[in-house]
Structures are given as structure tokens and as C-alpha cells.
Amino acid sequence: MRFDFKTRYEQDLRLFPHRTDLLGNGALLLCMLAAPLVLPQYFLGELTFLLVYGVAAIGLMLLSGFAGLISLGHAAFMGIGAYAHAILLEAGLPFALSLPLAGLIAGAIGMLLGIPALRMTGLYLAIATLAFSIIVEHVIGKWEGLTQGHGGMQVPEASLAGFDMGDIESFYYTALAILCLVVVGTANLLRSATGRALIALRDSEVAAQALGVNLPYAKAVAFSLSAGITGIAGGLFAHRIGWLEPGSFNVVLSLQLLMMVVVGGLGSLKGALLGVAFLGVLDPAIAILKDYLPSAIGGAAGLQLFLFGLVLVLFVLFEPLGLYGRWLKIKAYFDHFPMYRRATFQRTKTYMQSERYR
Amino acid sequence: MLDFLQQSLNGFATGCIYGLVALGFVLIYKASEIVNFAQGDMLMLGAFVGWTALDVLGFGYWPGLLFTILACAAIGFLLDRQVMRPIIGQPQFAGIMLTIGLAFTIRGGVIMIWGPEERSFHTPFSNKTTAFGSLAVDDVSLSIVAGTLVLCAVLFIFFRRSRLGVAMQAASQNQLAAYLMAIPVKTVNSLVWGLSAGVAAAAGMLLAPSLLVDTNLWIVVLKGFGAAILGGFGSIPGAVVGGMIIGVSEQLVGVYLDPESKGIAAYVILLAVLLVWPQGLFGGAERKRV
């Protein structure tokens, strides 16, 4: 059994609270670095997709998991990032400049959306972001001078420091590097006063305000950072798909992102990545499952959607903390062996907590 | 002028559907503070069950309508009882994710059972028009408006006069007090879900003749949100009026401004309303508890 006996405040603020965390993360990073040496091209391509989704999921996790603001329209920021990146590349900017700029543009638009969103709460915000994403999709389709509309737009080729983005291996390393930067950056943000303000905001707006958190500022920060990170993911996504259409960034993508975050476990960065990995495995798993089912079920077109929905329902009902929550439970079981008590993680029975105040 | 009236009327009919979807949201929201993202899929399920009742089982239109409403109401009742109940008391987010999951499951299930093809839907109203002076109106649109009015009247009387309706109101205002008054709150909430699913099924049956029976019918849910928000998410008449406003303005935008922008008019209105009134048009100022 391990005791967290903290004697200094710095121990509370460490990026890696235990030496084992450092070892585990280092081992994971080494595996990821070695992956292109082992994996065939096809799987490497799929893994790259997951890295890109990972960046987007971290962006959404920052907003929904930490600041507690629900967004049903994050695909819009991915779309904005992707188009901004492609258009800037077309204009002749180098990759190293256009990707951060794409993130900045998405972040600025996120801030613009965030300012009116400051006054909305939970549900209204969710629906407003949904409306926003549908409008963005429409605007991208209509603004033919800039985006070439529904006909689609070729993503220009680019290279970074001699690495060609068209080459799957060098793109893999670029995506991995950006994902690492984003993860470390977000983890650092969450250790800072701003990050803690976001978490306080999620747990109780009134209490956070009473403790001196500047609500509008904190929410605007959450929105613009989240949109910016998702915009960068969009820029990478553009390279991966190679051909941009407004329809690629629709409500379904937003819901997929949200599903990754929820299945992974709201409120943890590891959760976001676990969720991405889980959904990345689920897709091929369903494809394999189809072969073993009787053809009446396995061949049906809706099976994938049905199973996705079922997984989401089961997670919300039986593991609301997501995969990361399950991981914590497994870890606690071995930490406390043989003294593990189920009650440690049992949720207290609650009656309906009204969010209405009447 | 005539054209304007004609277009407004068409929009009005579509708006009634949005209003009915919004009505379904509001019923559930008032009872359990959950926003049912699966409402559009319940509507789609209703249209498919209705098609089966009419074309496969060979029911007449009116028995088919009744059968569909009852079948979907039963599904809604069971959904609440078996699936939704464990998340009572959890944050709003859980409810949103759970109903999104349900929406996927229902949509996938419908595609698996009925297949992705579109189907046409025949009713006594199809391909007929009624003339009001020099104004010619589809009977389908008329049936939508009439159906909405009848449903609203029935619900109004139900909530005012019947014991169960009053119990539903009591449970939505204060669950604990209702419980102490010997109202079986859990069952009542499940019945509200059944009622809401029944309304969705009726809306699906009304909408299906003017479109095709298709798995994309769920998209009305997005317009329904706009309607519910305009109406303030807590008021039943507000929801219906909100739906009508959205339907009419959408149609007019499509005809007089830009046909391509018809689809997003609802969302622009929605965002504009939320910018000015963050709690919707009729929502009161609320603060969360600490």
C-alpha cells in the first residue's frame, strides 16, 4: 500500500506526482516512438488519425471535462482550423507558421463564441454550440471564394524542417510531437491558477465566484484555449484526409469527440486519450465482429451506430467516470490489496438535484 | 400578398411539427430536468412504426395512428423505467450523454430492422388540396395543423382536469412534496416519458406524408431545440409558439432571402435569441445552488 504523505506544497503541484508516473509515461512515449518501426503502413495511418483525434479530445476535455462547459459543436473549430490551415498554406505560408496561426484563428473565433456563451448555462450553452457548428458548416459551404464551397478543397502539400507531410511516417512523428506538446501544455495549465480556476468553475460557479475567480475571464480562457487546441487538431486532420469538404465537420464528428471524452472519463487528460484509443479500437473490433454474427445482423447497415450508442449508454449508466475511473479502481484494488473495499468508489445515493431554483 | 400567405401557411405547418418536438422536450424537461436528445429519433421511430402498421399490418389510418402512438408511448415508458432512472441526481451532462447514446441506439436499431431505404407514406390526406378562397392548401399541411391543435387541446385538458395530469404537474414542481402527497413520482415520471414519446410518434405520423419515411427524420430534433429555447424550455404553450415562429420564419427566409440559407435560419434565430436572453424568451433568471 502506498501512502501519499505530502510535506510540501510543491508536492501537490508536481507534473508527475510519483516516480512511477514518470516511468509509465516514458515507457508509453518510447512505444509510440518505436511504433513506425514495427507497424505496417495501414495501421500507422490509423494510429496517426488517433493522434489527431487525441489533440482534439484534449481540447474538448479542457472545456467540458475541466471547465464543465458542454460543447456539442467542437467539430466547427476543427473545421475552422482545417480550412484556415489549408488556406494559409495555399497563400504560401510555411507549415510551422500556418498551423499555429490556424490554432489562433480558431481560438479567436472560440473567444467570440465564448463571450455570449458566458451568460448561458449548461443546457443552453450545449444547444448554442450545436447551432453554432451547423452555421459554421453552412458558412464554409457558402463562402466559395475562400473555401471552394461544397466542391471541396485540396490540402496543399507541406513540409516541416525537411519532413514531407505527405509521408506517413514523418507526419506520424509531427502529430506525435504536437500531441505531446499539447498534453504537457494542458497539464501545466491545469497546475496553474488559471487551470484551478477552471476546475473550481466546473464544481460550483457560485462558490468559485465567491473565492475570487473572475468568471467571464475564466470562461473566455477556457473557450479560446479549447477552440485553439481543437483548431490545431483540425489543421493536422486536414493533412491526414487530404481533401476538405464542409460535410466532414458535421454534428456527427462533434458527437464523436464528445463520446471519446465521456467514454474516456471526464476530468482527466489520460481519460481523453484513453477514450480516443478505445473508440479507435472499437471501430475495427465491430468490423471483425460483423464477420462472426449471422448475416442478418452482421450485414445490417445500422449495426455500427447501434453499438456505438449502446456503448455510450452502458458507460453513462455503469461507469460514469469512464475508462479512467475504471483504471483508478483497478489501481486502488492492487494498491490496497487485500483490503480493497468497493464502497470506496460507491456513489452516494442522491435525489434529484434541481438546477432550477424555485 | 397571396404568395406570402401561402408560404407562411406552409411554414406554419412545418412549424407545428417543430412545436410538437419541442413540446416533447418540455414535458420531459419539466418532469426530470433531462433534455431528451433522442426526441427526434422517437419521432423517426414513430414514422417507421406507423408505416409498418399501415403498409405491412394493413391497419386503417386511424387505428394505425392510435396503434403507433400507444406502441411508442410504451417504448418511452419502458425507456424511462429501465434506462433513464439510474441517472436521477447525476449532473445534467449525464442525461445529455445518455439520451445521445439512446438516440444512436434507436437510429441504429431502426436502420437494422427496417433498412436504410426511404418509404412513401399514404394517408387519406395525401395529394389533395383544399381551397380557401383563392388560397390552395395541401390537406397534409392542414392535417398537421389540425393534429397539433387537437393534441394541444387534449394535453391542455389532460393537465388541467385529469388527476394524473395534475399529479404530473405536482411532481414536476416539487418531487419531494409530491412524494409526500402519495403521488408515485417514479411511475408518474415514466408516464411523462410515455406521453412525450406518444407526442413524438403522433408528430412523426403527421410529418411523414409530407416527406418520406426516412432515417434522416431525426434531424427535426435540431429545429425542435430552437423552438424549445425560443419558448424558454419550461412552458408548453411557449414551445408550440416557438416552433411556429421558427417554421414560418424559416419558410420566409427560404422564399424571399436565400433558398440555401433556409436550413440555418432556425439556428441563426436561436443564437440571436440566446445572445440577448441567455435563458430563452420566457425563461426566468435562475441561479444555480452552490
The DSSP line for B102-170 is: HHHHHHHHHHHHH-S--B----TTTT-EEEETTEEEEHHHHHHHHHHHHHHHHHHHHHHH-HHHHHHHH
pLDDT at position B239: 85
List pLDDT tens digits, range A298-340: 666 778 888 888 888 888 888 878 888 888 888 888 877 777 7
Residue B110 identity (one-letter amino acid)? V
Does A6 contact B at CB distance below 8 Å? Answer: no
Q: A4 — contact with chain B (CB < 8 Å)?
A: no
Q: Which residues of A touch B110 (CB under 8 A)?
A: 302
Cα separation, A241 vs A271, whole angstroms: 25
Residue B229 belongs to what H/E stretch? helix B220-230
Number of domains present in the structure of chain B: 1
Cβ proximity of B192 and B32 under 8 Å: yes
In a domain, B238, yes or no: no
Q: Is A314 helix (H, G, I), strand (E, B) or coil?
A: helix
Residue B137, beta-bridge partner list: B130
Residue of B276, B257, B177 lying closest to B7 (CA atoms): B257
Q: What percent of chain B has pLDDT over 90?
A: 8
Which chain A residues are within 8 Å of B105, Cβ to Cβ?
305-306, 309-310, 313
- Note the pLDDT of residue A357: 42
- B128 within domain boundaries: yes
A288: three-class secondary structure by DSSP: helix
Mean pLDDT (whole number) for B12-32: 86
Q: How far apart, in whole angstroms, are the C-alpha atoms of residue B246 and residue B281?
A: 13
Is position B148 within any domain? yes
Within a domain: B10? no
Helix axes B163-173, B2-32, angle to 10 degrees: 70
How many Å apart are CA A110 and CA B287, to the nearest integer? 25
Please check the confidence at residue A58 and state whether its pLDDT lies above 90: yes
Output the CA angle B162-B166-B169, nearest 5 degrees. Answer: 145
Q: Is A332 exposed, middle or buried (0-12, 13-18, 19+ CB in 10 A)?
A: middle
Q: Which residues form the domain of B50? A: 20-215
Whether residue B289 lies inside any domain: the answer is no
Over residues B235-244, the pLDDT tens digits come to 788 888 888 8
The pLDDT of A119-140, averaged and rounded, is: 82
N-to-C CA span, chain B: 54
Asked if B63 is an interface residue toward chain A (Cβ–Cβ < 8 A), one would say: no
Residue B239 lies in a domain: no
Name the pLDDT band for B140 (thresholds 50, 70, 90). Answer: confident
> Sorting pLDDT into bands at 50, 70 and 90, what band is B288?
very low
Q: Which residues in chain A have Cβ-Cβ distances shorter than 8 Å to B111?
A: 300-302, 305-306
